[in-house]
Amino acid sequence: MPRRTTAPERSFERGLRALAAGETLEALAYFEASMRLDEKTPNPARRTRYASYYGYCLAAALGRTREGLSICRKAAQSEFFTPDILLNLARVHILAGKRKEAYETLMQGLRVDPEHSGLRAEVLKMGLRRRPVIPFLERSHPLNRIAGKLAVSGSQRRKK
- Is 112 part of any domain? yes
Q: Which domain holds residue 69?
A: 7-129
**Domain containing residue 38: CATH number:** 1.25.40.10
Q: What's the full length of the chain, in residues?
A: 160
Q: Are residues 124 and 136 in the same domain?
A: no
> For residue 45, what pLDDT band results from cuts at 50, 70 and 90?
confident
Domain count, the chain: 2
Q: Report the pLDDT value the prediction gives residue 156, as an integer from 0 to 100.
A: 53
pLDDT tens digit sequence for 80-127: 999 999 999 999 999 999 999 999 999 999 999 999 999 999 999 998
Other CB atoms within 10 A of residue 133 CB: 17
In a domain, residue 139? The reply is yes
As a whole number, mean pLDDT of residues 33-59 equals: 91
Q: Specify whether 72 is located in the same domain as 13.
A: yes
- 125 and 151 part of one domain: no
Please check whether residues 37 and 87 belong to one and the same domain.
yes
Cβ-proximal residues to 44 (8 Å cutoff; 6+ apart), any chain: 78
Give pTM, 2 decimals.
0.79
Q: What is the model's pLDDT at position 127? A: 83
- Residue 12 shares a structural domain with residue 68: yes
Note whether 117 and 107 are same-domain residues.
yes
Pair (19, 66) in one structural domain: yes
**pLDDT at residue 155, rounded to an integer:** 53
- Shared domain for 47 and 57, answered yes or no, is yes
- Whether residues 64 and 11 fall in one domain: yes
**pLDDT digits 0-9 by tens, 142-155:** 987 888 888 766 55
In a domain, 81, yes or no: yes
Task: Say yes or no: 121 and 93 in one domain.
Answer: yes
User: Which amino acid, one-letter code, is at 11?
Assistant: S
**What are the residues whose beta carbons fall under 8 Å from the beta carbon of 19, sequence distance 6 or more?**
27, 53, 57
